[in-house]
């Protein structure tokens, strides 16, 4: 029996070694960066999703700042090189087209702003900015954002609040209500359940087998399309007037941006997903966490907001001018693009084959002590120096033609939440928390704060 186990282990080792070696040989090309390709089909996806930045550091220490891998179903070149990353982000069209992992493209839509390039990207970006750009925020969106956040943050005194849960609620519900206002309360729960599956599938292996996150995400996308199509048909059949984003999209025959049904639905996915990922978890939750841990920063931010309230009547909402005056607040939360090669192209000393993904990993730039002294210190004051946002390697919100179109809307939501939270309450953490920072920021058990009146 012992001998059989021994030879079984030897056989398993040999098969594993052969599979790993075969996958490396399969993707071997002249002048490709060094690296490993992992297992057939799965590649190194598990290590990439589980260890994230540590995986990057380990591989770059071994193979250099540019290395090859196989993640999320695609052969990929990962770059942590400052100069190469800047070149890629600032030179769309020179042999490279921006894209995202296949799973994300499939569940978010192939006319999604992240999936298109050239004139199509310019068109979709223009349409998106007409919905969520500065003009739309000032004229239409801000009052609704303020109203909902005031309601959300009401009556928290003496309660224990999960900030992560409330941040997700704020980001998703506000965005959803601004897209579909009239039918919102009737379909919100069912829609949210389906969209959660889409968000999970966006960063998964593209294996279309029942039970996988990817399969569930594709099915959820179809279900969401049915919901949106039904609303669209009912609205077109009625004579009622609606004042939301969906109405603007449906009535785009008179607009300069005439979208197909698929493009309309993909715009909705874009707006919901971007708010869901960045505004809810990354920014709002972490702002509350870091402000709690740094009383001096909290005090300065609170004084900024109390000064705004002194200019207002007790229940008077804040507006665009108030938001623009929040200089320290904006500094406090100043805190991934996946191009792929459309032809075999040369970057520096490497040749990258057509169809390969290039993961521009810019996270480590934020920890470069040359660019940011004491990079691991929470220091919002550094961002009061506007030159930091304009230097050559600042990719906080993307770069070039891929600068985030929803940047301002996201910042408005976070700033408004902070305004009402810090002027009404003080808070303390109920327990120590573990923060997962990759592939998305989250606290598995929530960020529970004991809230009391300020």
Return the CATH class of domain 25-453.
mainly alpha
Provide the pLDDT for residue 32: 82
Q: In this model, does residue 40 exceed pLDDT 80?
A: no
Q: State the number of CA atoms in the 13 A half-sphere of 356 facing the CB.
A: 29
pLDDT of residue 305: 96
pLDDT value of residue 160: 96
Average pLDDT for residues 197-216, to the nearest whole number? 92
Q: Residue 427: pLDDT band by 50, 70, 90 thresholds?
A: very high
CA angle, corner 387, sides to 384 and 388, nearest 5? 75
Please check the confidence at residue 59 and state whether its pLDDT lies above 60.
yes
What would the pLDDT profile of 336-364 be if each residue is shown by its tens digit? Answer: 444 555 444 445 567 777 778 888 877 76
Q: Which of 5-9, 152-156, 238-242, 330-334 has the highest mean pLDDT?
A: 152-156
Q: SS3 letters for 215-273?
A: HHHHHHHHHHHHHHHHHHHHHHHCCCCCCCHHHHHHCHHHCCCCCCHHHHHHHHHHHHH
Q: State the Cα angle at 400 between 64 and 112, rounded to 5°.
A: 95
Residue 404 has pLDDT above 70, yes or no: yes
Reference 234, options 172, 173, 176, 187; nearest CA is 187
For all residues of the chain together, what is the average pLDDT? 82
Res. 401 pLDDT band, cuts 50 70 90: low
**What is d(CA 40, CA 152) in angstroms, rounded to the nearest whole number?**
48
* pTM (2 d.p.): 0.82
pLDDT of residue 343: 44
Q: Which of 112-126, 140-154, 354-368 has the lowest mean pLDDT?
A: 354-368
Residue 83: pLDDT band (50, 70, 90) is confident
- pLDDT of residue 445 exceeding 60: yes
Place of tokens 């799973």: 103
Residue written as tokens 């002294």? 373
Confidence of residue 162 (pLDDT cuts 50, 70, 90): very high
Distance CA 85, CA 399 (A): 10
User: What was the pLDDT predicted at 375?
Assistant: 77
Q: How confident is the model at residue 208 (pLDDT cuts 50, 70, 90)?
A: very high
Contact 53, 44 (CB under 8 A): no
What pLDDT was estimated at residue 338?
45
Residue pointed to by tokens 């390697």? 393
Q: Is 434 exposed, middle or buried (0-12, 13-18, 19+ CB in 10 A)?
A: exposed
Angle at 333 between CA 328 and CA 339, to 5 degrees: 140
Q: What pLDDT, on the 0 to 100 scale, is given for residue 336? A: 44
For residue 404, say whether it is annotated as part of any ligand binding site.
Answer: yes
**Percentage with pLDDT > 70 across the chain:** 81
pLDDT higher than threshold 60 for residue 3 = no
Instruction: Kindly list the strands in the beta sheet with 357-360, ordered across the sheet, starting from the edge strand earlier in the chain.
Output: 66-71, 74-79, 357-360, 338-341, 96-99
pLDDT tens digits along 168-196: 888 888 899 999 988 888 999 999 999 99
Q: Where are the domains of the chain?
A: 25-453
Residue 406 has a pLDDT of 74
Q: Which of 14-18, 84-88, 129-133, 238-242 has the highest mean pLDDT?
A: 129-133
* Partners of 360 in the β-ladder: 79
How confident is the model over 71-96, as a mean pLDDT? 77
Q: Which residue pairs, CB below 8 angstroms and at least 24 apart, start in 48-54?
A: 48/72, 49/203, 49/438, 49/439, 51/438, 52/437, 52/438, 52/439, 53/363, 53/364, 53/437, 53/438
| C-alpha of 187 from chain center | 24
In the three-class reduction of DSSP (H, G, I as helix; E, B as strand; rest coil), residue 314 is classed as coil
pLDDT interval class at 80 (50, 70, 90): confident
């Amino acid at each position: 029996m012992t001998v059989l186990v021994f030879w079984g282990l030897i056989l398993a080792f040999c098969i594993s070694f052969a599979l790993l070696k075969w996958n490396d040989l399969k993707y071997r090309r002249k002048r490709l960066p060094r690296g490993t390709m992992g297992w057939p089909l799965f590649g190194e996806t598990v290590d990439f999703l589980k260890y994230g930045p540590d995986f990057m550091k380990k591989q770059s220490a071994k193979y250099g700042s540019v290395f090859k891998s196989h993640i999320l179903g695609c052969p990929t070149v990962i770059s942590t090189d400052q100069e190469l990353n800047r070149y890629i982000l600032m030179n769309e069209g020179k042999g490279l087209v921006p894209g995202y992992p296949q799973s994300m493209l499939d569940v978010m839509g192939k006319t999604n702003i992240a999936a298109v390039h050239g004139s199509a990207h310019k068109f979709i970006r223009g349409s998106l900015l007409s919905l969520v750009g500065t003009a739309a925020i000032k004229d239409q969106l801000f009052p609704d954002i303020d109203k909902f956040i005031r309601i959300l943050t009401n009556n928290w005194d003496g309660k224990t609040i999960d900030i992560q849960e409330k941040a997700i609620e704020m980001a998703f519900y506000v965005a959803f209500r601004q897209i579909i206002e009239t039918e919102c309360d009737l379909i919100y729960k069912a829609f949210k359940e389906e969209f959660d599956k889409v968000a999970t599938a966006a960063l998964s292996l593209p294996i279309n087998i029942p039970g996988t996150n990817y399969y569930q995400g594709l099915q959820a996308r179809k279900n969401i399309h049915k919901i949106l199509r039904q609303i669209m048909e009912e609205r077109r059949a009625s004579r009622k007037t609606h004042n939301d984003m969906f109405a603007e999209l449906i009535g785009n025959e008179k607009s300069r941006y005439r979208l197909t049904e698929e493009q309309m639905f993909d715009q909705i996915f874009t707006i919901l997903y971007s708010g869901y990922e960045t505004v809810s978890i990354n920014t709002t939750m972490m702002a509350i966490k870091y402000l709690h841990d740094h009383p001096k920063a909290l005090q300065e931010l609170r004084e900024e907001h109390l000064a705004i309230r002194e200019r207002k009547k007790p229940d008077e909402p804040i507006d665009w001018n108030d938001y623009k005056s929040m200089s320290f607040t904006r500094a406090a939360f100043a805190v991934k693009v996946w191009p792929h090669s459309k032809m075999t192209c040369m970057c520096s000393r490497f040749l990258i084959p057509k169809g390969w993904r290039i993961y521009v990993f810019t996270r480590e730039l934020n920890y470069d002590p040359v660019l940011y002294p004491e990079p691991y210190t929470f220091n919002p004051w550094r961002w009061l120096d506007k030159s930091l946002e304009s230097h050559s390697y600042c990719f906080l919100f993307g770069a070039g033609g891929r600068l985030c179109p929803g940047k301002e809307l996201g910042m408005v939501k976070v700033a408004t939440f902070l305004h009402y939270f810090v002027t009404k309450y003080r808070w303390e953490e109920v327990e120590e928390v573990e923060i997962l920072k990759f592939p998305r920021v989250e606290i598995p058990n929530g960020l529970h704060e004991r809230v009391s009146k300020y």
